[in-house]
Structure 1
Amino acid sequence: PDFIGLHCQEVGGKNYEDTMKHVDKFTRMLLQNEHMSQYKRAYVFLDEDFTAVEKFTALGSLYFIHNSVKDVGIYNFAERTFVPAEGKEVFTGNIEHVPIKEKSKFPKDFFPDGVWSRKGFIRTRWRLYNTVFDLVNLHLFHDASNIVAMEKSPSLYSLHREQALLHTIKRFEDDDHTKVPYFIFGDYNFRLDTHKLIKLKQFDTEPDACKLKLYEYNVTFQPSSPFSEDADECKSYMKTRCPGWCDRIMMSHSCRNIILNVETEVEYAMIGKDVCMGDHKV
C-alpha cells in the first residue's frame, strides 16, 4: 500500500501502569522491521502519560508512507497549514502539545457513572495525491455490566456511545478548520442490543443513530469481539459478553464520494481470523 494507517486503542494493555514501558520497544521494532523498509517516512502518536488522568486516552495512531509516494503533507492544527511529511517522527508520553494532531478525551459527564476511562479521539489531517482528508482514531465506551446493558433498549451504554460519537462529529463540523472528508476508524464498542436480542431477536442497531452523518460499507464479516485471548482458541469467543461488531470503519459521505471516483474494489473485512490478536480483531 502507498499509505498505511494503523489505529490502536488501549496502548499499553489493561495493566498499562506496569506494561506501558514495553510500547516504545514494540514501536522501535516495528519501524526497524525489514518488511517496513519501503516506508522511510512514518508518523507515530502514542498517548502514554497515564498520570494525566483528565487527558489520558491510551490511543495510538501510526502512519507509514511508501517511498514511491511524492509530496505528502501533514496538517499543523496550530499554524493551520500543511508541512511536508519527511523522515520518521515518533511522539510518545505526553503528546498534548504536538501540533500536527488533535486529541481529546471525552467530557467526564459523558462517561457512564461519571468515572474516567481511556476514551476519546486523535485526529490527523493529510494531503495525499492532491486529496485532503482526516483520519480519526476513536475509542467509545464499553458495556461495563451485562445486566445493565440488557435492562432497556437502547442501553445506557449505547446512549453514552451515541452521545460521544455525535459530539465528536459536531466538533469537527463546528470548528474553524477547513471542512474535509474524514474516516473514523477504531473501537466503537458497538454491541448487539442485548435487550432486543432477548425480547425481539433484533441485533446490530447501534450504527443507526449516525447513518445521516456517516457511511459504512456492508458488514459481511463475523463479530469482531470478544475473541478468546488463548492462542490455542483464537477462533472462539469468550463468554464474558454477547459478541458484537465493535471495530468498524465509518466515513463522512464526502469520503465515500472520493472512493467512488477511484477505480478499485473496496474490501471491508476482518484481519487476523486465524491468529490470536487479543479480544478484538479488526
Structure 2
Amino acid sequence: MAGKLTAAQGTGVLLVTANVGSLFEDPENLQKTWLREFYQVSVHTYKPHFLAVHCQEVGGKNYEASMSHVDSFVKELLSSDAMKEYNRARVYLDENYKSQEHFTALGSFYFIHESLKSIHQFDFKAKKFKKVVGKETYSETLESTPSLEKEKFPQDYFPEVGGILSTICLFLRYIFLYCIKDVQRTLRFQRFQDFKFKHETGSLVSLCSTATMHTIRVADTNEVDKLIFRESDNDRKVVLQLEKKLFNYVNQDVFRENNGTPLLEYDKELSVFKDRLHELEISFPPSYPYSEDSSQGKQYMNTRCPAWCDRILLSVSARDLVLKPENEEKSIIYDNIGPNVCMGDHKPVFLSFRIAAGAGKPNANKHKCCVVQ
C-alpha cells in the first residue's frame, strides 16, 4: 500500500482519461488487468491527494447487454483495499442509454485522500460551495444533480463537414462558447478525454514514399473503395492498404520506436487552438487502437491508423497553475497506463503534478473566482 500522504509540500493531483468500452465487453479478463495497472499508477506510484478519472464509453458498445457490469466496476473502485485512504468520492455515471437525446456514456470519478481536511464542492442550484463528505454515486438522473452541469451537443449541431479535423474544431469551439457564457467558468479548466484525434492519413502516406499507389474504385459510383501501396521492386510487396475501417501497414514498429513521436508532425488538430489550449509534451506511443486480445499488450489493430486519441488539455490559466516555477519539472508527468499489457483498445493517459500551497489565490487585479477551492 502507499505510504501516508501529507499535503505540506503541496497537493498532488492526478488526472486520468480512459476509454473503457472494452472493459465491459470482456470484464473477466480486461477489467482485472485494467484495475491492477490503474492502482499501480494512481495509488502506488504517484500517490495523489486528488484523483480525477474521466471515462468514455461506460457500459461498452452494447449498452443494454453490458451496462450491468458497470456497477461491479464502480463498487470495486470505491471499496478496494488499494483505495482505502481515499475516504471521500464522487462518481457520476451517465447510464440512461434509453434516452438518446441525453445519453453520453460518460463517467467521472473523483477521489479525495484522507489527508485533505476541508474540501468543498460547488452546488449549481444553491450557488454556493458545500463540504464534501463520504462517498456518493449519481446515475440516470444527472440532469437534476445539483453538483454538476451536464451538456450534450445538440443532435443537429454539426453540419456536414469535411473530415475529422473540422469536427474536432467545431467540438472545441462549442466548449469555448459554452464556457464563456459565464466568466466564472472560464478561468481555469482541464479537458481530459478521448478526443478521437486522428492523423491526416494523406500526410501519413509519406510512410510509403517509395511505393506506388493504386486506387480501386466502386464500379457503380466511381467512389474510391481502397488504396493499395506496393513497392516498386521486392515482388511488388504491399506496404500499406487503406479501406474504410482498415489501415494495414507492413511495419507497426514505426508507431512504437521512439514512442512514435516522429509522427507527431501529422497530429495537427490542436494547432488551431494553440493560444487557448496547452498540452504537455507527448512522449508515449499512440494510445489507439490497440488489440483487445489480452495476450497482445503492444499490438495495434489494423482498423485505424494508430494515433494519440486520448489527451489532457489545459486552459492557459490551468497551464500557469501546473507549470508554476516552484513545481519542479520532474514532478510533472504526462504518460500512459499499462504500456506493456492489454488495457482494451485505448491506453489510459494521465497527467500527474503538484499544486503548491496557496496557488491560485487571487490578487487585487484578479477575479475572486480564480480561487482554487
For this structure pair, what is the TM-score category when the shorter chain's length is used for normalisation? 0.7 to 0.9
Report whether the alignment pairs 1:42 with 2:42. no
Tell me what 2:257 maps to: none
Q: Say if 2:280 and 2:334, in contact at 8 Å, map to a contact too.
A: yes
Query: Offset of 1:94 from its aligned partner?
Result: 3.1
Report whether the alignment pairs 1:12 with 2:59. yes
Equivalent residue in structure 2 for 1:266, among 299, 317, 332:
332
Report whether the alignment pairs 1:203 with 2:297. no
- Which structure has the greater CA radius of gyration? 2
Q: Say if 1:183 and 1:250, in contact at 8 Å, map to a contact too.
A: yes
Could you tell me which amino acid in structure 1 is paired with residue 182 of structure 2?
D
Tell me what 2:345 maps to: 279
Tell me what 1:128 maps to: none
Report whether the alignment pairs 1:93 with 2:156. no
Query: Offset of 1:59 from its aligned partner?
Result: 0.3
Report whether the alignment pairs 1:106 with 2:153. yes
| Bigger relative CO (Cα 8 Å, ≥ 6 apart) | 2
Query: Where in structure 2 are the equivalents of 1:218-229 lying within 5 Å?
Result: 218-229=281-292
Query: Where in structure 2 are the equivalents of 1:114-193 lying within 5 Å?
Result: 155-175=162-182, 177=184, 179-193=186-200
Could you tell me which amino acid in structure 2 is paired with residue 219 of structure 1?
I
Query: Offset of 1:164 from its aligned partner?
Result: 1.1
Task: Note closer, same or farther for the CA distance 1:227–1:257 as it changes in structure 2 (3 Å cut).
Answer: same
Task: Note closer, same or farther for the CA distance 1:112–1:48 as it changes in structure 2 (3 Å cut).
Answer: farther
Q: Say if 2:121 and 2:130, in contact at 8 Å, map to a contact too.
A: yes
Could you tell me which amino acid in structure 2 is paired with residue 255 of structure 1?
A
Query: Offset of 1:21 from its aligned partner?
Result: 1.4
Tell me what 1:231 maps to: 294
Alignment TM-score, normalising by the size of structure 1: 0.81
What is the root-mean-square deviation of aligned Cα atoms in Å? 1.9
Tell me what 2:316 maps to: 253
Q: Distance in 2 between matches of 1:109 and 1:157?
A: 17
Q: Which runs of 5+ in 1 are unaligned?
A: 114-153
Q: Distance in 2 between matches of 1:281 and 1:245?
A: 10
Query: Offset of 1:203 from its aligned partner?
Result: 1.1
The answer to which of 170-179 and 260-269 deviates more is: 170-179
Aligned partner of residue 7 in structure 1, secondary structure: strand
Aligned partner of residue 175 in structure 2, secondary structure: helix
Deviations 1:243-281 (A, max 9, x none): 110000101010111112242421111111112111111
Aligned partner of residue 303 in structure 2, secondary structure: coil
Q: Which runs of 5+ in 2 are unaligned?
A: 1-47, 210-262, 349-373
Aligned partner of residue 161 in structure 1, secondary structure: helix
Q: Say how many residue pairs are matched.
A: 242
Query: Offset of 1:177 from its aligned partner?
Result: 3.7
Report whether the alignment pairs 1:29 with 2:92. no
Task: Note closer, same or farther for the CA distance 1:155–1:231 as it changes in structure 2 (3 Å cut).
Answer: farther
Q: Distance in 2 between matches of 1:249 and 1:172?
A: 17
Aligned partner of residue 335 in structure 2, secondary structure: coil
Tell me what 1:117 maps to: none
Q: Distance in 1 between matches of 2:167 and 2:119?
A: 37
Equivalent residue in structure 2 for 1:75, among 122, 132, 136:
122
Query: Offset of 1:112 from its aligned partner?
Result: 7.1
